[in-house]
Amino acid sequence: MNPTTSGDRSEICFFDLETTIPRRRGQGFSILEFGAILVCPKRLVELKSFASLVRPDYLSSISLDSVRCNGITRDAVAEARSFSDIAEEVYGFLHGRVWAGHNRLKFDCVRIREAFKKIGRPAPEPKGIIDSLALLTKKFGRRAGDMK
């Protein structure tokens, strides 16, 4: 992964993660699914997309709470690629672009950085971040947390 960017990377990358839900203090999150759409900021049309289920290091980290939250079961990801297998594609979608979505700052950005650190690779860096949670909180207060 080359941390430098070439050419114009003005596209907006809307992305989302699904993760495990830690059962105890100190247990980290594992990414179970990554999906992204690149959008032209001038015409607001989709240019490219990518989605993949992700096999965590330990299938046992997928608790009943995780399945209830996101519907992703152990069987669903048992044959999926690991995060290190898709890291290059994830990096290519994210690095140097504007990242957009709900709860980007407090959750997704943190999980992306953790996942790259775990595999010993530099994490992608955004050109900017649009977090709909922050925008909606100004209008709707605490209810904004559930407005995806």
Q: Tell me which architecture the domain covering 12-143 has in CATH.
A: 2-Layer Sandwich (3.30)
Mean pLDDT of the region 116-140 = 91
pLDDT-above-90 percentage for the chain: 74
Which residues are registered as beta bridge partners of 31? Answer: 19
Residue 3's pLDDT band (boundaries 50, 70, 90)? very low
Looking up tokens 């922050």, which residue turns up? 134
Longest Cα–Cα distance of the chain, Å, equals 45
pLDDT tens digit string along 21-59? 988 887 889 999 999 999 999 999 999 999 999 999 999
pLDDT at 25: 85
Angle among Cα 24, 25, 26 to the nearest 5 degrees reads 115
- The arithmetic mean of pLDDT across residues 89-94, rounded, is 98
The answer to whether the beta carbons of residues 124 and 95 sit under 8 Å apart is yes
pLDDT of residue 24: 82
